[in-house]
Chains A and B, each alone.
Chain A
């Protein structure tokens, strides 16, 4: 079985400060990793995903994430956040066989002016 752990349920950060949202997964097989964002009253949308290749993945809105196989992590980072980044962020994992797609419980990012 797989699980996804988002260690922080809430992250407040001041505008223009850097932020890191943490995600760890458990799996004994190769996985695919995703970060989705949900703005208030909107559906989830993809920020970025890791399928293979370079472990540093760049996404939309200046976000990036690094796949670390030895630490089974896929942390999301942004060097300078904006008020508009206030949202719920979900890490997710899937694998290349079977009907399995798992989300984490989400991290609520609040950017403080």
Chain B
């Protein structure tokens, strides 16, 4: 089945130690998204790629970076994790995206990040 895969499902890192979360997709979708979801809060969009075009939300901290080396893979890099970055990180894809947000997004199961 075509799907969105996130590895690992659980990640533990130390305060200030860089960490990378991975997302891959077999849907061949143009758009990939990263969301941060803290406990009892709404998922919050961090950034998205429309093909190779990177789009950062205005309030996404500089500590968060992303890479998309090819259509299938997208990475979330947290350069210096703080305790406040502990959250569930959700990856999603959509087929087109264009200039309107009407497309269905397909989500992975998420990676839960713990910062010690």
Binding site for B on A (CB under 8 A): 4, 9, 32, 36, 41-46, 49, 51, 90, 94-97, 99-106
Interchain CB contact under 8 A, A46 and B104? yes
In the bound complex, what is the Cα–Cα distance between A13 and B19 (angstroms)? Answer: 41
Interchain CB contact under 8 A, B42 and A102? yes
In the bound complex, what is the Cα–Cα distance between A103 and B90 (angstroms)? Answer: 13
Count of interface residues, chain B, beta-carbon cutoff 8 Å: 25
Partner among A4, A9, A94, A105 whose Cβ is within 8 Å of the Cβ of B101: A94
Interchain CB contact under 8 A, B108 and A43? yes
Q: A43-B90, A49-B104 are in contact. List 11 more A-B contacts (CB 8 A).
A: A9-B40, A42-B109, A43-B92, A43-B110, A90-B43, A99-B48, A103-B35, A103-B42, A103-B44, A104-B42, A106-B42
Partner among B33, B35, B102, B105 whose Cβ is within 8 Å of the Cβ of A51: B102
Interchain CB contact under 8 A, B100 and A44? no
Interchain CB contact under 8 A, B48 and A105? no
The B contact surface, by secondary structure, is loop
Can you list 25 A-B contacts (CB < 8 A)?
Answer: A36-B105, A41-B109, A42-B109, A43-B90, A43-B92, A43-B108, A43-B109, A44-B43, A44-B92, A44-B105, A45-B106, A46-B105, A49-B102, A90-B43, A94-B101, A94-B102, A96-B99, A99-B57, A100-B45, A101-B33, A102-B45, A103-B35, A103-B42, A104-B42, A105-B41
Binding site for A on B (CB under 8 A): 4, 33, 35, 40-45, 48, 55, 57, 90, 92, 99-102, 104-110
CB distance from A38 to the nearest CB of B (A): 8
